[in-house]
Structure 1
Amino acid sequence: MNTKIGVIGGSGVYEIDGLQNAHWVTVETPFGAPSDAVLTGRLDDVEMVFLPRHGRGHVHSPTSVPYRANIDALKRLGVTDVISVSACGSFREELAPGDFVIVDQFIDRTFAREKSFFGPGLVAHVSVAHPTCPRLGAACAAAARAQGITVHEGGTYLAMEGPQFSSHAESRLYRDVWGCDVIGMTNMPEAKLAREAELCYASVAMITDYDSWHPEHGSVEITDIIRTLGGNADKARGMVARLPALLGGMRAPCPHGCDRALEHAILTAPAARDPAMVAKLSAVAGRVLAS
């Protein structure tokens, strides 16, 4: 199997530069329509897929993003590696606006979203102890550095429901008590669903602001975020353009087991599985359900 890179673009990132034979594809999933059509093409002879998380024109709020449909669509298109690019606030002085953070942990504070492909009639429990792929994260870090981006490897992402930004008290709690590094609204349940779909997943947090904890920067202002987003989006597209050279070619089994996450995760006995659920999960879990 050859590597096929899927990029989920967050606020400000709505395309991939230099994509050859680019065309938009409409993908139907059992979980409804994805955020938008999917842009497919090749870059340096590596197949690439791009999905704008909020839709072109930014029509989805963090809560209304159809996360299950998005991950299912990428899996149906044969994606092997998912790069999530998203705007985030920083809880650390040294993680400055314009810097990128390769996230490796999450605290999920979202509460209004469907968080699993599985359910009654087909039950599974996957491990998200280490919710991102170290191999893929290292490739993103290398690509970012080659692009001249200040990048920090490792960090905990606080996923909030939104769409409002944090209160000052929440910001201090997440930073001082919980020890989080960045805050955003979109990587959960995205990372959990990618793991259930046996996809390698890396999260690249593009810092836009200091949330509301910083005594010298005050509260988050959307005008400041938008101003920083433009520069971050240019950097992100440059980073993505360097990934095919680092990830292209034949796809070896993931050394961290991301592509085998369902190996022992499904608990429902074959005879007790709901046929409708089995059909619904044909893309996400077809590898194990067919065995």
Structure 2
Amino acid sequence: MTSALENYKIFAIKYAHHDRPARDNFLGGDSHDVNMPLDYFVWAVVGQSRTFLVDTGFDANVANQRGRTITHAVETGLNAVGIEPRTVEDVIVTHMHYDHAGNSDLFPKARYHVQDREMEFCTGRCMCHGVLNHAFNVEDVKSMVGRVFADRVTFHDGESLLTSGLSLHLVGGHTSGLQVVRAHTARGWVVLASDAAHLYANIEQERPFPGIYNLGDMLDGYRTTYRLADSPAHVIPGHDPAVLARYPAASSETHDWIARVDVDPQ
């Protein structure tokens, strides 16, 4: 007899914001001269037996260096949904860019889940090129190497089932080893796309974000992401402020910065 899949709660936790023109969000630019901001999220995937943190964000020092605005520190957001960072045991890093792999000291007990190709990418010859390495923070990369030697990293090669109802899927494109996260929820299969789709418009209109390692993989990744989700409405992009408008808040105190994406859009 096949056991029932575990259902997860998923919290999209906004920790930072950046105003930018629409032309910066699409390969080839955009004819609309309007502000099209990015929000920065981490995601908590909470089951009955295990909790997974998807990505770890960046801190105030990196925000100042990169011209971003911290709206709530990552640890504040986690505490708001009942998660103490020091107790987190599993961190999934979708890719190693600075806005997804920072805050190295917040999770001392965690085991990190990373794709083989991403670690090879961020420590290999591609990092000799400024156009590719500018989105990485060298201290984040060094911290991950340290975890490897401390036996705190599990590497994945393509598709991996982490536990009942939760799996990782290599898509590449934005970086060589970008992975998306598929989680079973009460409303079905939800895919945390991370930077496989920064914005709804990127994937819905097949208009790629300009940060690209492999364009073909990025376009194929749109199809893979849709295939893994129960519907397009089950795909959660990585940086779209609309996520907070489409989904209900986790609580009355978090209506504009933490949403529940495991429930139906409102």
Q: TM-score, normalised by structure 1?
A: 0.25
Indicate the structure (1 or 2) with the bigger Cα radius of gyration: 1
Higher relative contact order (CA 8 A, sep 6+): 1
Q: TM-score, normalised by structure 2?
A: 0.27
